[in-house]
Structure 1
């Protein structure tokens, strides 16, 4: 078992737009498709949850993998 903690970064290999959801899924060891589907469902269902704005902010804040 590796003792190196996983860092949060945007994925270069598992991306649809910017790699945000792929990076989050990799960080926590989750399935990236499931993370994407849950994000879309929560964004559509909740009018108080501005999904596009949150995604854009995460895109700006989370560094790209390898940087």
Structure 2
């Protein structure tokens, strides 16, 4: 069996300040997470882009030890909810009785 270690972009627990995005990106790229934080801080000061980038990364990057991101979990939960309810009212309790 071939096993290999591939780098995966994940939000980390180690070095986390808010959600682990910067520490995860820093670990993936191989640079200090503080440089990522400084870059996001600067982009936040000049137009607010840093906050949006951070928020999107937080939603799309899986946390360390997980295979799915927050968005993937929400989409999957929504799909399960739709598959579980066939009626437009959300459940079987509103079906007309014969």
Structure 2 unmatched ranges of 5 or more? 67-98
SS of the residue corresponding to residue 8 of structure 2 reads coil
SS at match of 2:41: helix
The question of 1:17 aligning with 2:23 is answered no
Q: Which has the higher contact order (CA 8 A, sep 6+)?
A: 1
Aligned partner of residue 7 in structure 2, secondary structure:
coil
Shift of 1:14: 1.2
Consecutive aligned runs of 4 or more in structure 1 exceeding 4 Å deviation: none
2:40 maps to what in 1?
A: 39
CA-atom RMSD in angstroms? 1.4
Give the deviation of 1:38 after TM superposition: 1.3
List per-residue Cα deviations over 1:8-45 (Å, max 9, x = no partner): 00011111100000000000110011111111112212
Q: Which stretches in structure 1 are left out of the alignment for 5+ residues?
A: none
Query: Radius of gyration: which is bigger?
Result: 2
CA distance in 2, matches of 1:37, 1:50: 13
